[in-house]
Chains A and B, each alone.
Chain A
C-alpha cells in the first residue's frame, strides 16, 4: 500500500481506515525526524574528519599520517563551521510552515546552542588569559564543547521525550570526560572516533528505528 488515495471521497473498511490514519501520523512523524538523521550525519562527519585531522597535526600523536598544523587547524575549523551552517539550514527548513507553542521550545533550544558555544569559547579565552597552558587549553575546549553538546541533547530528550537523544547526550558527555582523562593530544583522537562515531551511529539508528516502527 504505497499509493495514498487523494481524490477518493469514499471510505474504506474500518481496519483500512485505521491503518490509513496511523500511516499518515507515522508519515508526519517521519518528516519531523528524518532531518535529524542528517543533522547527526553532518556532525558525525565534521567531528570524525575534523578531530582526526587536528590530531594528525601533532607529531607526538602517533598518527600514521602527519599533517602540518598550519593545514590541520584550518581544516578542523572548516569542518565545524560547515556543520554549523548546514545544521542551521536544516533546522530552519524542518519547521517551515508550522506554527504553534512548540515553536517557542524549538527556538529557545536552537538559541541555547549558540549561547553555550559562545560561553565555552569566552571561558576558554579567559582561562588562557589567566595563564592556562596550551596543552591544558587543548583539553579544555573539546571537553567544554562535548559537555555542552551532551547536556543539550539530554535537554532535547526532556523537551521532545526522545530516548535516542538521551542516549546520545549521555554518550557525548561521557566522551568529553573520557577524552580529557586521555590527555592531549589523544583526546582529539577520542573525540574523533568515539564522539564523531557516536553521531554517525545515531544517524544510522534513526532510519532503522523508523523502519522498524513502520513494520
Chain B
C-alpha cells in the first residue's frame, strides 16, 4: 500500500481540505469565513494553506470588495483528487468501506 499523502495527513490540513472539497467545483470561500468554519487562527491557517498551495492542492484568488482586499481560497482539481485518494486509502486501511 502506498504511503498516506503527507500533505493531507495532518489534522489541520485534513480539516482544511475536507472543508474546501465540500465547496462547488468552481467554488471558493473568503479567508475569514474559512477561518471561522475551522476555528483556526489566521496565522496558523495561512501556514497550512501555504503548504497545501505548494503541493498544488489549494489556490488563492485576491480580489477587492470595495477598497478592502479579500482573499478567496479554493480547492484545485488536483487537491480534490488527492483528498478523495486519501479518504479511499484510509477506508482501505480500516478494512474496506467501513465509514463509522
Contacts and interface: CB of A to CB of B under 8 A. Distances in A.
Contacts of B29: 97-99
B91 interface: yes
B41 interface: yes
Interface string A95-129: 01111111100000000000000000000000000
6 contacts: A4-B38, A10-B11, A18-B87, A25-B19, A97-B30, A100-B26
B68 interface: no
Interface in B17-35: 18-19, 22-30, 32-34
A98 B23 contact: yes
B44 A7 contact: yes
A15 B33 contact: no
B27 A99 contact: yes
Contacts of B9: 11, 17
B82 interface: no
B6 to A, nearest CB: 8
A21 B34 CA distance: 15
Interface in A53-110: 96-103
Contacts of B4: 11, 14
B100 interface: yes
A100 B27 contact: yes
Contacts of B27: 98-102
Interface residues of B, number: 35
Contacts of B28: 98-100
Contact of B37 (A5, A8, A31): A31
B11 A12 contact: yes
Interface residues of A, number: 31
Nearest 8 CB-CB pairs, A to B?
A: A100-B27, A97-B33, A100-B24, A97-B30, A24-B18, A14-B93, A21-B18, A24-B15
B99 A11 contact: no
Contact of A215 (B18, B37, B100): B100
Contact of B11 (A11, A15, A22): A11
Interface in A139-194: none
Contacts of A17: 9, 11, 14, 90
Nearest to A95: B33
